[in-house]
Amino acid sequence: MKISVELTLTPLHDDYEPVIQSFIEDLRNSGCKLIETPLSTQIYGNYDLVMDVIRDSTKKVFENTQNVILNSKIINHDRSDYSPDF
């Protein structure tokens, strides 16, 4: 099964950029398809692979940084080719 996940990582401290950059670099190295925007990162692929990548990347951030929020939206379909047609 293919899935699409939108992630927003929000460190609750002033030095947030290195935390976000490290998280995104881990996602980039996963081999999954990514779309990066200023407000979120979307990751697409096989359910098991994507969820393993998110679990491992999140665990790393949570172990190394205090006070971090990860918001996610998950849909059970690959929406990476979506284009608004209106």
Q: What Å distances lie between residue 69 and 13, 77, 79, 81, 83, CA to CA?
A: 11, 25, 24, 28, 29
CA pair distance 68, 71, nearest whole angstrom: 10
pLDDT at 23: 98
**Whether the Cβ atoms of residue 68 and residue 62 lie closer than 8 Å to each other:** yes
CA pair distance 10, 7, nearest whole angstrom: 10
**Whether the Cβ atoms of residue 70 and residue 8 lie closer than 8 Å to each other:** yes
Domains (ranges, CATH) in the chain?
A: 2-75 (3.30.70.930)
pLDDT at 72: 98
Expressed in angstroms, the distance from the first to the final Cα of the chain is: 29
pLDDT at 47: 98
Q: Encode pLDDT of 10-56 as tens digits.
A: 999 999 999 999 999 999 999 999 999 999 999 999 999 999 999 99
Q: Encode pLDDT of 61-86 as tens digits.
A: 999 999 999 999 999 999 999 989 99
